[in-house]
Amino acid sequence: MSTELERQQPTEVSEDDLEVLLGDRALGRDDHLNAPGFVIRPDDVQDVLTDLRDEAGFDHLSCLTAQQYSDRYESIYHLKKYADPTQEVSVVVPTSTDDPVSQSAEPVFRTADWHEREAFDLVGIDYEGHPDPRRILLPETWQGHPLSEGYDQEKPQIVTLSEHANPIQPDHHDEESDTMFLNIGPHHPATHGVLHVKTVLDGETVVDVDPDIGYLHRCEEQMCQQGTYRHQIMPYPDRWDYVSAGLLNEWAYARTAEDLADIEVPEYAQIIRTMSAELCRIASHMLALGTFALDVYGDFTAVFQYAFRDREVVQDILEDLTGQRLMFNYFRLGGVAWDLPEPRDEFIAKTRDFLDELPAKVDEYNDMITSNEIFQIRCHNTGVLEPEEVKDYGCTGPVARGSGVDYDLRRDDPYGYYENLEWDVITEDGCDNYARVLVRMQEVEESAKIIEQCLDLLEDWPEDERDVQANVPRTLKPDADTEVYRAVEGAKGELGIYIRSDGTDKPGRFKIRSPCFSNLQALEAMSEGEYIPDLVASLGSLDIVLGEVDR
Amino acid sequence: MSSNNPRQSIHDSTAPSTDTRDSRIGEGPDDRFNSKLREAFGASPFILTKFDQFMNWVRGNSMFMLQFGIACCSIEMIHTYAIKHDLDRFGAGVPRASPRQADVMIVPGTIVSKFGPRMKRVYDQMPEPKFVVGMGSCTISGGPFQEGYNVVKGAEEIIPIDIHVPGCPPRPEALIYGVAKLQERIRNGESSPVVVKPYELEQFGDLPKDELVQKLASEIDEDDLVMRYNWADSP
């Protein structure tokens, strides 16, 4: 891989080094399958995280998991390094049941803002020193914290529909000022679903942006906690990132659960997974391109329809393979549901046809989108997101790679069959909306390369070695209190899952780390001080899916 | 004569075209009214209809859809509008971004408590007569998310729905069938019964003063619109 040489490899930090670094602040160890875990006091959070970031180089707060045990609450900060995501550490912060107050990590990692709001909303831990301790997914008037113990789901609730007040009114607005409050969404064509953006404008300049999410919070974590590992959870990942990225999401669950239950996946199944997941990535990036062109210069005719034409082809191929157009439910723990459809030659030929036509189509997109002058004027140097901000906000995927942060879990934390294939990680240094589009366009080509190689392998694979599934027990019961956090490279970025097993055949805690959730948070950094049309362009280039933001 | 050399004037017989016309009209009394319409409507050359029947026919053939994306189903809904499936062929392919210009709303996805009042408001903003197609299992019963603490058990709890399209998500063909069925209903002048809906928007001050209302009284203005969810009573 070409970029491998240019990247500086970070020095490996051993567990002993970490123990020395944390010293007395580490009260004990609580190791997870993926990383060493250190238990710390609730008032040491900022101190410890700052040291881990500055001294040991853990600059990526990947996820925050909150959960309640019978005797305590617990917040787990999953830290990684952008330069090498295989180096991980978990910081475990227990708090008492009576008074669950923990120090906020927001001053150290900006991304902790929303993650802690979510932890408060769903589990009920208070974060001291948090700048904005509101609910985030549920309505303000909600009673109780649904993922805490003893929550009564049958209780009545009241939800308000009030006019939204100007969020900066108390301190900035006066008689002479002419700021204007603009309410975008939750039903609005430019928000890609049901996002609600409270915006304050000064003339045409955006002064304040406050994305309000939760209009599609359909309890995905609760659903997964109610399902059995073996079969009942797998349909749900399809519905997180529903833009045809289903198989990428299924892989996130498959990878985590396979690590948890120690299942080995046959090589042949890994190749099918790799191929089908990359098909999903193409479909997903096509939609991102089409809707972005629609957002930026209202192109409902050419680019949008072309993108959907190509998506139809990919969806046909995936339907042949999985039996479904959108919600595939094709992966199983230990492999995939079934082999390529018969006749194999026909399927492989059909997929090859698509790949053969793809370069011409990509040229067409380049003609119509990236070399379009209007498009360039709209996208160049708008929605700028500096690499430092990317790391602070925990952005991943094309958003990070468009800002020159070379971070792709397919290469950096290899899974599936990616490490045996020839392909490149695409990065652009533009940091603007244009760079993010370029990254997606080129990733489509890279995905095509991967599929091509997988097809070659599948075609020549000996007939008697086509194992699509490992031998997995009918009921999976991982040992109690095994904890694991694993991530894969979804279409939008790092899609991670934390599972704690409680000895039964259902997870004790199932936490989803959604790339869109973290990426969307960076909207304020991209759009404050810019013009209002650029806000819409920035939102489009983040390529969020509300199903995944709200889960 | 080829079309490369356009003829300047007519000097030959016009017989062929006359022959064609004659054979088309056929023999009989009063040829002028022999037409497809006459075949369809009987001996009278006039169409007698009621104005509202005519309006229903027009409505069914020119439906303005609300551009309303909620969840997974909206992706299949876009595919239904886009090429290959092309809903426009059936006179139902003009997505309007404003509810005030739309007369059909496709509800494509899960309704959760926070979105319920918003959907009700969007529905209320559409001019009469308005029609709703519920797309997918979530709008029927909450679908795969029915047991969620936050999920409204079907869009029909909040707004009346004319056509339910089952599936998770329904294929574009299924949605087209649903829309075609809706057109049929509209042409026939049928509309869905307005059911008594458990979740209505009402003013906070009008709610019965129970424990929950007392608790929220300090936070919510009496005039604020609220929607009350009684999860225990919902199906």
In chain A, where the domains are located? 2-128, 220-550
pLDDT > 70? residue A272? yes
**How far apart, in Å, are the Cα atoms of A101 and each of A66, A74, A119, A149, B163?**
12, 10, 12, 17, 50
Interface test with A, best of B150, B152, B171, B223 (most A CBs within 10 A): B150
Contact list, B138 vs chain A (CB under 8 Å): 218
pLDDT, one tens digit per residue, over A354-377 is: 999 999 999 888 888 888 888 888
Q: Is A154 exposed, middle or buried (0-12, 13-18, 19+ CB in 10 A)?
A: exposed
Q: What angle do CA A164, A166, A168 make, to 5 degrees?
A: 145
Instruction: Find chain A residues with C-beta within 8 A of B212's C-beta.
Output: 143, 156-158
pLDDT band of residue A4 (cuts 50, 70, 90) is very low
Residue contacts between A and B (CB atoms, under 8 Å):
166
Summarize chain A as % helix, strand, coil (round to 5).
45, 15, 40
Is residue B129 reached through a cis peptide bond, with omega within 30 degrees of 0 on the bond before it? yes
Other CB atoms within 10 Å distance of the CB of residue B217: 14
Q: How far is CA A518 from the centre of its chain?
A: 7
Is the CB of A193 less than 8 angstroms away from the CB of B72?
A: no
Q: Pick A547's closest partner by Cβ from B72, B83, B113.
A: B72
Looking at every residue in chain A, the average pLDDT score rounds to: 87
Residues A551 and A215: their CA atoms lie apart, in Å, by 10
Alpha carbons A156 and A151: distance in angstroms, whole number: 12
Of B110, B168, B231, the CB nearest to A156: B231
ω into B144 cis (within 30 of 0): no
Task: Between A421 and A24, name the one with better pLDDT.
Answer: A421
Q: What percent of chain A is predicted at pLDDT more than 90?
A: 33
pLDDT in tens, A499-526: 999 889 899 999 999 999 999 999 988 8
- Residue B102, pLDDT > 60, answer yes
Report the percent of chain A where pLDDT is more than 70.
Answer: 95
> What is the reported pLDDT for A275?
92
Buried b (16+ CB within 10 A) or exposed e, A348-379: eeebeebbeebeebbeebeebbeebeebeebb
pLDDT at A208: 86
What is the phi-psi region of residue B106: left when phi exceeds 0, alpha when psi lies from -120 to 50, beta otherwise? beta
**What Cα–Cα distance (Å) separates residue A13 from each residue in A7, A27, A78, A79?**
18, 20, 16, 13
B59-88, pLDDT tens digit by residue? Answer: 888 888 888 888 889 899 988 988 888 888
Query: According to the model, what pLDDT value does residue A6 have?
Result: 46
pLDDT at A1: 40
Helix/strand/coil for A95: strand
What is the predicted pLDDT for the residue at B82? 86
Which residue in chain A has the smallest CA separation from B172? A325
pLDDT confidence bin for B232, thresholds 50/70/90: confident
Q: What is the pLDDT of residues B133-192, one digit of tens each?
A: 999 999 998 889 988 898 998 888 888 888 999 998 899 999 999 999 998 888 888 776
Of the pLDDT bands very low, low, confident and very high (cuts 50, 70, 90), residue A399 is: very high
Nearest CA in chain B to A284: B75
Contact between chains at B115 and A235 (C-beta distance less than 8 A): no
Task: List, for residues B182-225, the tens digit of each pLDDT value.
Answer: 988 888 887 766 655 677 888 888 888 888 888 888 888 888 88
Nearest by CB to B226, which of A159, A305, A315?
A: A159
Å between B59 CA and nearest CA of chain A: 25
Q: For residue B225, which of B153, B121, B137 has the smallest C-alpha distance?
A: B121
Residue B22 has pLDDT above 70, yes or no: no
**C-alpha to C-alpha distances, A99 to A42, A72, A129, A372, nearest whole angstrom:** 11, 10, 15, 58
Quick check: A150 contacting B, CB < 8 Å?
Answer: no
**B171 with A194: Cβ contact below 8 A:** no
A220-550: CATH topology: Cytochrome-c3 Hydrogenase; chain B (1.10.645)
- A499 three-class SS: strand
Residue B234 · residue B153 · CB < 8 Å = yes
Q: φ, ψ for residue A67 (rounded to 5)?
A: -155, 160
Q: The domain B52-187: what is its CATH number? A: 3.40.50.12280
> Which range, A18-22, A31-35, A254-258, has the best average confidence (pLDDT)?
A254-258
Preferred mutation among A194, A280, A284, A287 to probe B, highest tally of B CBs within 10 A: A194
- pLDDT (mean) for A420-433: 89
Q: Is the pLDDT of residue A3 over 50?
A: no
Nearest one of B207, B209, B208, B202 to B224, comparing CA atoms: B202
Of B82, B115, B148, the CB nearest to A223: B148
Kindly give, in sequence order, each residue whose CB lies less than 8 Å from that of residue B80, ignoring residues fewer than 6 positions away.
Answer: B87, B172, B175, B176
Q: Are B195 and B101 contacting, i.e. CB atoms less than 8 angstroms apart?
A: no
> Which residues of B, range 148-207, sit inside 8 Å of A by Cβ?
148-151, 168-169, 171, 201, 204, 207
Show the CA angle centred on residue A129, arms to residues A139 and A146, nearest 5°: 30
List the alpha helices (DSSP H) in A33-174: 45-54, 112-122, 169-172
| Token pair listed for B117 | 């009042």
Judged against a pLDDT cut of 70, whether residue A8 lies above it is answered with no
CA angle A289, A290, A294 (to 5 degrees): 115
Residues of B in contact with A327 (CB under 8 A): 72, 168-169
Q: Does residue B4 have a pLDDT over 70? A: no
Instruction: Reply yes or no on whether the pLDDT at B2 is more than 60.
Output: no
> Which residues in chain A have Cβ-Cβ distances shorter than 8 Å to B220?
141, 158, 160, 162
C-alpha to C-alpha distance for B232 and B210, rounded to whole angstroms: 16
Cβ burial, residue B139 (10 Å; 0-12/13-18/19+): buried
Q: Which residue of A has its CA nearest to B217?
A: A141
Chain B partners within 8 Å of A288 (Cβ): none
Question: Using the beta-carbon criterion (under 8 Å), do B71 and A155 form an inter-chain contact?
Answer: no
Which of B67, B83, B229 is opposite residue A305, by nearest beta carbon?
B83
Query: Residue A159 and residue B113: Cβ atoms within 8 Å?
Result: yes
CATH topology of domain A2-128: Beta Polymerase; domain 2 (3.30.460)
pLDDT tens profile B41-67: 665 556 677 888 888 888 888 888 888
Name the least confident of A176-190, A427-441, B153-167.
A176-190
Of A121, A154, A161, which to mutate for an interface test with B (greatest number of B Cβ within 10 Å)? A161
| pLDDT at site A295 | 84
pLDDT at A346 over 60: yes
Q: Name the CA radius of gyration of chain B, rounded.
A: 27
Helix (H, G, I), strand (E, B) or coil at A232: coil
- Of A189, A185, A122, residue with least CA distance to A540: A189
Tell me what ipTM this predicted complex has: 0.86
Task: Report d(CA A548, CA A518) in Å as an integer.
Answer: 10
Give the residue-averaged pLDDT of A372-383: 87
CA separation (Å) from A363 to A353, A359, A370, A441, A492?
Answer: 17, 6, 10, 10, 23
* Domain residue ranges of chain B, discontinuous segments joined by +: 52-187, 200-235
Residue A467 has pLDDT above 90, yes or no: no
The size of chain A, in residues, is 551
The reply to whether residue A162 touches residue B221, judged by beta carbons under 8 angstroms, is yes
Q: Which of B117, B145, B215 sits opposite A219 (nearest CB)?
A: B145
A190 shares contact with chain B (CB less than 8 Å): no
Average pLDDT of the segment spanning B18-26? 64
CA distance A387 to chain B (A): 31
Largest CA distance in chain B: 96
Average pLDDT for chain B: 81
Rounded distance between C-alpha atoms, residue A135 and residue A282, angstroms: 35
Task: Say yes or no for a CB contact (<8 Å) between B232 and A141.
Answer: no
| Pairing mode of beta strands A196-202, A205-212 | antiparallel
Instruction: Kindly identify which residue of chain B lies nearest to residue A189, measuring between CA atoms.
Output: B97
Listed residue (A432, A381, A429) closest to A406, CA to CA: A429
Q: Which of B66, B68, B72 to mutate to test the interface with A (most CBs of A within 10 A)?
A: B72
**Cβ within 8 Å, pair A159-B204:** no
- Burial of A20: CB neighbours in 10 Å, binned 0-12, 13-18, 19+: exposed
B-chain residue closest to A233, CA distance: B144
> Within B62-105, where are the H helices?
72-81
Position B14 pLDDT exceeds 70: no
pLDDT of residue A481: 87
- pLDDT tens digit sequence for A126-169: 998 888 888 899 988 898 899 888 888 888 888 888 766 665 55
Q: Give the C-alpha separation, A410 to A544, whole Å.
A: 20
Residues A224-247 have pLDDT tens digits of 999 999 889 999 999 998 887 889
